[in-house]
Amino acid sequence: MPSHTAITPIKPSDSVVADRLSQLEEAVRRAGETLARLREDNDRLRRDVKRLEDERRQVLGQVDTILKDLGKLDLEAP
């Protein structure tokens, strides 16, 4: 008796599903990379904001000092 080996042919719909699965896996990989990059950008921007806030406080302190010094000057002519 001949042996019958069952070979399941690939149906066109199986190929479509496999292709779509590959596309989705690639999209998930790209999304993960994008998310990681955006997190790094967000961290960098937060550090920049902190630095700029510190600089702003320093400049405001300097301006206040200058204004106080100007207020101490006798600017009226005798």
In the predicted structure, residue 70 carries a pLDDT above the cut 70? yes
The pLDDT value recorded for residue 13 is 76
Q: How many Å apart are CA 36 and CA 41, to the nearest integer? A: 9
Q: How many Å apart are CA 37 and CA 73, to the nearest integer? A: 54
Q: Which two tokens stand for residue 49?
A: 């904001």
Residue with structure tokens 């779509």?
Answer: 20
In the predicted structure, residue 10 carries a pLDDT above the cut 70? no
Mean pLDDT confidence for 26-51:
98
Mean pLDDT confidence for 23-50:
98
The pLDDT value recorded for residue 73 is 85
Mean pLDDT confidence for 22-43:
98
